[in-house]
Amino acid sequence: MDKTKILLAHSPDPDDAFMFYGLAKGHVDSGPYEFEHILQDIESLNRRCLKRELHISAVSIHAYAHLHEHYALLASGASMGDGYGPMLVARPGLSLDDVRGRKIAVPGTLTSAFLALRMAIGEFDYEVLAFDEITGEVAAGRFDAGLIIHEGQLTYADEGLELLLDLGVWWGGETGGLPMPLGGNAVRRDLGRDRMEELAAILKATIAYGLEHREEAVAYALDFGRGLDMDLADRFVGMYVNELTLDYGERGRESIRLFLDRAHREGLIPEPVSVEFIG
């Protein structure tokens, strides 16, 4: 019997690779589906989902505000910063007040990091770069500051940069300690409810497999990390693949609601978002 082909997209970074290890290597039953794994940076995936090109994709929670009519969020697959998150970094000698009026390198205007920074410091001048180029461009003096995501959060100091603002810490302070919502897995609604539920179960199973076989999954994920050794890769994966990834839980769900409600109140997203979780 022919299997139904599903385009499954995620970022080429260690935490996403860890999540999909079980499925990518055939350790998790794919059921009646054949998954084609597509690896692209999160901003590219956000924009492909705007065109409804992908069946399941990692997306930014910010981007989900523009996608919710055609995609639902899976209850598993969250990337949340629990007391940490995307960071604004600069060369030594600059303060947060100094960079408010200068150009900041950002990893994409649909990223949750970009939305959070606008909520935290207001409007600012920016230029979009590939996420893995930002620290090098700031260190070289071509930008005054950079907004960093992924493993740059662990390696920015190696390039001589200093932390100005940790947005996960900021968000926790704004919300009484809730984790900052960054990304999730979205599934296209036109697949139908039964298929969405089946796919949700398969994706939850691959995340659980990685957590249960941590050492081998981290070793696989290491190939997707830039400048990480095994210990740093394990630390990075632990930051973004944990019990909140298996299920958002009440803290995660409430944080997403607050994040998108605030963004709408501040005029940063076009309409209120009612978030639906599948699985």
Helix axes 214-222, 230-240, angle to 10 degrees: 110
CA angle 134/135/140 to nearest 5° reads 100
Task: Check: CB of residue 117 under 8 Å from CB of residue 88.
Answer: yes
Q: What is the DSSP letter of 179?
A: P
What is the DSSP track for 203-250?
A: HHHHHHHHHHTHHHHHHHHHTT-SS--HHHHHHHHHHHSSHHHH--HH
Task: Select which of 66, 150, 213, 264 is catalytic.
Answer: 150
d(CA 144, CA 134): 11
* Residue 55 is among the residues annotated as catalytic for this protein: no
Helices (H), 76-159: 96-99, 112-121, 134-139, 152-155
Tokens of 162: 């200093």
d(CA 272, CA 262): 10
Q: What is the largest CA-CA distance in the chain?
A: 64
Annotated active-site positions, please? 150
